């Protein structure tokens, strides 16, 4: 697995030059991982069935979970999709490039049927990352790319995470340092001309969608704290995801009670010699005594918590932590996506105090 370092502050021409070999490999049907503003993606030419098949193999991904197609230019869209609602056009204009994936009617034969898992729709997005845009542009391909992790593990926010999971199995990785948002894109569909249905909360918040389309009705998933769970609408939402190897429990509710509860659990577990971990906020790191205490950053900055979540989950694995308690947070703004991923990572084990 080759690693191409992209230099900070490279302009588009320099990037094109640095990424020439990576782009040529994509064109030739090889797998190349690359940074986006959300997480690292594992890219392949979306039109090449053999290439797309090797994405599923490398990740160990179930074949009924469709892939997002990444583009660098609005003109690429015409070849990929059939006519779409005017609302979609407005959202793209305002929020692309950015962490928003639109599920649109797929143009027959535009991409390999493996990309859409046989559905009549395709998820498309234009990432807001100079190296991703340069790579896609230079390759000349629509680039199918799931997150570049082994299926079930936390998504990669560093090139090192990609190598940890897929080193030796893919042709290369473009190393652009840490990704920005740290959680995946928001996936939406438009069931009618005035409704935006959020299939997966992510980097674009419900508020941002509402601002981009003030008259639209936003149909967003219920917060994890509500007990009702619906049948998954997006195929990918039904699988175990983002999980560390240790057993993870989320603790929500009154902060003082949460501290007391978690510390009691840690103390009880220590008697069994299992390695314990706590994921908390800066405001309370000093309140815990466990084998490994990690922080999301300040509770006042949930963007930072989103940015750090996956790296923290991977760190617990690296240190062999077997029992982990993570403090939950507000589900406002990016908090909705954060709690969505955390709940999945915990297999929905949530203690409410």
Nearer Cβ to Mg ion, position 10 or 151?
151
| Rounded least distance, CB 179 to ligand TXA, Å | 9
Nearer Cβ to ligand TXA, position 6 or 145?
145
Q: Is 185 in the site for ligand TXA (CB under 6 A)?
A: yes
165 CB-near residues (< 8 Å, 6+ apart): 148, 149, 150, 153, 156
| Rounded least distance, CB 297 to ligand TXA, Å | 21
Count of residues near ligand TXA by CB under 6 A: 29
Chain residue at closest Cβ approach to ligand TXA: 236
Residue pair 223/336 in contact by the 8 Å Cβ criterion: yes
Q: Is 77 in the site for ligand TXA (CB under 6 A)?
A: no
Nearer Cβ to ligand TXA, position 294 or 302?
302
| Rounded least distance, CB 147 to Mg ion, Å | 3
Residue 200 binds which entry of Mg ion, ligand TXA, none, with Cβ cut-offs from 5 to 8 Å by kind? ligand TXA
| Rounded least distance, CB 170 to ligand TXA, Å | 14
- Three-state SS letters, the chain: CEEEECCCCCCHHHHHHHCHHHHHHHHCCCCEEECCCCCCEEEEECCCHHHHHHHHHHHCCCCCCCCEEECCCCHHHHHHECCCCHHHHHHHHHHCCCCEEEEEEECCCCCCHHHHCCCCEEEEECCCCHHHHHHHHHHCCCEECCECCCCCCCCCCCHHHHHHHHCCCCCEEEECCCCCCCCCCEEEEEEECCEEEEEECCCCCHHHHHHHCCCCEEECCCCCCCCCCCCCCCHHHHCCCCCCCCEEEEEECCHHHHHHHHHHHHHHHHCCCCCEEEEECHHHHHHCCCCEEEECCCCCCHHHHHHHHHHHHHHHHHCCCCEEEEECCCCCCCHHHHHHHHHHHCCCCEEEC
Give me the residues that bind Mg ion (CB under 5 A), please: 147
| Euclidean distance between CA atoms 326 and 345, whole angstroms | 11
* Interface pick for ligand TXA out of 31, 102, 187, 338 (rule CB under 6 A): 187
| Rounded least distance, CB 236 to ligand TXA, Å | 2
* Interface pick for ligand TXA out of 4, 22, 30, 66 (rule CB under 6 A): 66
Residue the block writes with tokens 């501290």: 259
Nearer Cβ to ligand TXA, position 125 or 284?
125
Nearer Cβ to ligand TXA, position 145 or 170?
145
| Rounded least distance, CB 132 to ligand TXA, Å | 8
* Interface pick for ligand TXA out of 32, 55, 67, 279 (rule CB under 6 A): 67
Nearer Cβ to Mg ion, position 55 or 262?
55
Nearer Cβ to Mg ion, position 36 or 280?
36
Q: Counting every residue, how long is the chain? A: 353
231 CB-near residues (< 8 Å, 6+ apart): none
Contact track, ligand TXA, 135-154, x by CB under 6 A:
----------xxx-------
| Euclidean distance between CA atoms 155 and 147, whole angstroms | 6
**CB atoms inside a 10 Å sphere around CB 330:** 15
Please list every residue from 197 through 256 that binds ligand TXA, using CB under 6 A: 199-200, 234-237
Residue 101 binds which entry of Mg ion, ligand TXA, none, with Cβ cut-offs from 5 to 8 Å by kind? ligand TXA
Q: Is 274 in the site for ligand TXA (CB under 6 A)?
A: no
Please list every residue from 100 through 119 that binds ligand TXA, using CB under 6 A: 101, 103, 116, 119
| Rounded least distance, CB 64 to ligand TXA, Å | 9
Binding site for ligand TXA (CB under 6 A): 36, 38-39, 41, 65-68, 99, 101, 103, 116, 119, 121-123, 127, 145-147, 184-185, 187, 199-200, 234-237
């Amino acid at each position: 697995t080759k690693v191409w370092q992209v230099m900070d502050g490279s302009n588009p021409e320099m990037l094109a030059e640095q990424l020439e070999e990576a782009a040529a490999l994509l064109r030739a049907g090889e797998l190349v991982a690359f940074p986006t503003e959300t997480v690292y993606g594992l890219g392949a030419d979306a039109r090449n069935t053999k290439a797309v098949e090797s994405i599923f193999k490398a990740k160990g991904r179930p074949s009924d979970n469709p892939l997002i197609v990444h583009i660098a230019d609005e003109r690429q869209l015409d070849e990929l999709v059939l006519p779409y609602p005017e609302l979609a056009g407005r959202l793209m204009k305002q929020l692309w490039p950015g962490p928003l994936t639109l599920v649109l009617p797929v143009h027959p034969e535009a991409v390999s049927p493996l990309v859409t898992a046989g559905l009549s729709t395709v998820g498309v997005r234009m990432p807001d990352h100079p190296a991703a845009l340069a790579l896609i542009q230079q390759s000349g391909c629509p680039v199918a790319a799931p997150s570049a992790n082994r299926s079930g593990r936390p998504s990669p926010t560093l090139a090192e995470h990609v190598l940890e999971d897929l080193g030796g199995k893919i042709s290369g990785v473009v190393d652009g340092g840490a990704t920005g948002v740290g959680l995946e894109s928001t996936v939406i569909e438009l069931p009618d001309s005035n409704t935006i249905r959020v299939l997966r909360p992510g980097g674009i918040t419900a508020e941002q969608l509402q601002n981009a389309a003030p008259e639209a009705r936003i149909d967003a998933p219920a917060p994890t704290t509500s007990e009702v769970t619906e049948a998954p609408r997006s195929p990918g939402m039904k699988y175990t995801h983002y999980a560390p190897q240790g057993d993870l429990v989320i603790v929500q509710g009154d902060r003082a009670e949460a501290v007391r509860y978690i510390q009691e659990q840690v103390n009880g577990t220590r008697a069994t010699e299992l390695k314990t971990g706590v994921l908390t906020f800066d405001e309370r790191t000093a309140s815990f005594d466990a084998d490994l205490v990690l922080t999301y950053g300040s509770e006042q900055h949930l963007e930072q918590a989103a940015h750090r979540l996956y790296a923290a989950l991977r760190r617990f694995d690296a240190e062999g932590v077997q029992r982990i308690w993570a403090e939950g947070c507000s589900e406002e703004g990016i908090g909705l996506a954060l709690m969505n991923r955390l709940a999945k990572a915990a297999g929905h084990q949530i203690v409410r105090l």
